[in-house]
């Protein structure tokens, strides 16, 4: 299952929004902030697990690559070892994480503050 077809799980936590009001979030998004998921892969010989992190709110002044660093390191160390999917999923996860993660703002925003991305801009 690929992340691009994975729906947002309502039970996922959103990190880095503590203390922010809906108006604060709208303003941050208007300035370039986004909600992001990171991928990670863990392999054990013939088993390979490809998962997504919780959702992170990345402000416009923050770098998404830094937020995804723990998942990138985990994948780099433990993702390769499953045959045949370990190397494939590891390369996919590393590529996605090093490009800033998967932007899920359009999926999260309506359920979080009752608005869409178009109405914020």
pLDDT in tens, 31-76: 999 999 999 999 998 899 999 999 999 999 999 999 999 999 999 9
pLDDT value of position 119: 52
Check residue 82 and report its DSSP letter: S
Most confident segment among 16-30, 90-104, 107-121: 90-104
Better pLDDT: 114 or 57: 57
Report the predicted TM-score, pTM, of the whole model to 2 decimal places.
Answer: 0.81
User: Percentage of residues in the chain with pLDDT exceeding 70?
Assistant: 83
How far is C-alpha 83 from the geometric centre of its chain's CA atoms?
25
End-to-end alpha carbon distance in the chain: 32
Q: Which residues contact 13 (CB under 8 A, 6 or more apart)?
A: 54, 55
pLDDT value of position 3: 32
């Amino acid at each position: 299952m690929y992340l691009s077809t994975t729906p947002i799980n309502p039970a996922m936590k959103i990190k880095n929004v503590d203390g922010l009001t809906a108006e604060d979030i709208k303003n941050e998004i208007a300035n370039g902030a986004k909600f992001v998921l990171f991928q990670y892969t863990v392999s054990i010989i013939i088993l390979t697990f490809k998962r997504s992190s919780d959702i992170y709110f990345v402000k416009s002044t923050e770098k998404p690559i830094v937020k995804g660093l723990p998942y990138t390191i985990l994948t780099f160390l433990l993702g390769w070892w499953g045959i045949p999917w370990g190397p494939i999923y590891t390369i996919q996860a590393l590529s996605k994480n090093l490009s800033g993660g998967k932007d899920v703002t359009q999926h999260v925003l309506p359920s979080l503050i009752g608005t869409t991305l178009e109405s914020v801009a």
